[in-house]
Chains A and B, each alone.
Chain A
Amino acid sequence: MIDYTQKIREIAARLLKEGTVDMVIGFRKGTVPMMNEPCFIRKPEEADRLVWDSHCGINLANYLYDRKEKIGVVAKGCDSRNIVTHIVENKIKREQVHVIGVPCTGMADKRRIGALSEKDGEIREVSEKEGRITVKGDSFTKTFEKKEVLQDNCTTCLHRNPVIHDEMIAEPVEEQTGIDPFEDVKRIEALSPEEKRAYFQGLVADCIRCYACRNACPLCYCPTCFVDESRPQWVGKSIDPTDTMTFHFLRAYHCAGRCTDCGACERACPVGIRVRQFTKKLNKDCVELFDWEAGLTLDERPPLDTYRPQDPNDFIK
C-alpha cells in the first residue's frame, strides 16, 4: 500500500508537469485516523500530499462532473464504474478524465474497527502493513487482519480492478470468486411482508435525515434533489417513520440500474444505517431481470433507458 502512495505521487506529478491534466483528484490523510479525505492537486510539487491506504473509501467519481478542466482521478474498481456511469450519462466526456487505476483489495470499515476497540478508548493513530491494520490509542495497540474489518460492500465486491483506466499503478489484483453478493437480500426476500416492514423500519429508525448518504453518492447530482424540492413537496421533511422510509426507498429507486455498490452512502451515514439494503435489492433485480451490472461498459445503454422487446412485463395487467 505504501508503494501505491509513492506510485500515485509520481504519476500525479508527471501528469501535471507534462500538462496531460490540469488537476489530479486523490486522497490525503484526514485530520482524524481512518478518515482520508479527497484532495485536489493542481501543482506537481503538491503531489506529496497524496496518500493511499485502506481508508480511501470515499468515491472520488463524486467530484468529477460539472468541471471545465482536464482531470486526473485516482480510481478503485467501484470509482471507475461510477466514472463509466458518468460518461454514459453524459456528465463528463471520456477525454476529459485521465483515470489512474488502482487495483483494490477492499477498504477498511472504520465503524467495525471502532466497535472492536470501543472499550479501549479513542483511536489516535492507524498504520498498515502486509494485510494487517494496527490502531493505537492512548493506552492500547490493536492489530486486525484487514480481511476481517473490510467494509461490507468490499467483502462481496466482484470488480476490484478498475474497468477503465488510462494507466494502472500496479498489476491487477485477483478478483474474488465464489461469493454471492446478494445473500443478505435473499434473506430479506424470504421474510413475510410484516417482517420485511419491521426490518426496514428498524433499519431506518435512527435516521436523522441529514442526507449525507445522498451527498456522498456519485449518482446524486441533480441540481435540486427531490427531498429539497418544496413546490411540489414530494416527500415530507419530518422524521416521521413514513417520511423517512419514503426518502430511503425513493433514493434507492433513483439509483436503480446505476448503483455500483461502492458503499459511499453507508460510509457517510453518521448513525450507521445500512442504507445499501435498499439499493442492493434493485441491483439484484437488475442482474436477474436485465443481466445488468452498472458501470461495466461504455458501449451499452443502461436497462432503464432502453426498451427491449424481451423486457419482462408480467407485472403489467
Chain B
Amino acid sequence: MTHIGIEPGRLQFSWISSAEATKFVDVVKDVTDAIRALGPNTHFVKTLPKVA
C-alpha cells in the first residue's frame, strides 16, 4: 500500500486477543494519535456527485 502512495503510518496492523482489553485501548489511542498527526486522508477518497 505504501508503494502506491499511502503515507507510511496510515495503514497499521495489530494482533490483539479478545482477552487483551488494555492492549486494545492502547492500540486505539496510539493509532488515533498517529492518524490525527497525519491529518485527514485526502487521497484514495471517492467523491460522489451530489444528487438532488
Contacts and interface: CB of A to CB of B under 8 A. Distances in A.
Interface of A: 188-189, 193-201, 236, 240, 242-243, 245-246, 249, 278, 281, 315-317
B46 A317 contact: no
Main secondary structure of the interface of A (DSSP, over half): helix
A4 B44 CA distance: 49
A236 B13 contact: no
Closest 3 CB pairs of A and B: A197-B5, A196-B5, A242-B46
Interface of B: 1-8, 12-15, 27, 30, 43-46
18 contacts: A188-B3, A193-B5, A193-B6, A193-B8, A195-B5, A196-B3, A197-B5, A201-B5, A236-B46, A240-B46, A242-B45, A243-B46, A246-B44, A316-B13, A316-B14, A317-B13, A317-B27, A317-B30
B2 to A, nearest CB: 7
Contacts of B8: 193
A278 B5 CA distance: 12
A316 B46 contact: no
A200 B4 contact: yes
A62 B4 CA distance: 28
A199 B3 CA distance: 10
Nearest to B45: A242
Given A199-B5, A236-B46, A242-B46, 8 more contacts: A188-B3, A197-B43, A242-B45, A245-B44, A246-B44, A278-B4, A316-B15, A317-B14
A281 B6 CA distance: 15
Contacts of B12: 317
A204 B48 CA distance: 20
Nearest to B12: A317
A272 to B, nearest CB: 19
Contacts of A236: 46
A236 B2 CA distance: 21
Contacts of A315: 13
B51 to A, nearest CB: 14
B46 A200 contact: no
A200 B6 CA distance: 11
A102 to B, nearest CB: 34
B20 to A, nearest CB: 12
B23 to A, nearest CB: 9
B30 to A, nearest CB: 8
B14 to A, nearest CB: 5
A201 B5 CA distance: 9
B49 to A, nearest CB: 10
Contacts of B43: 197
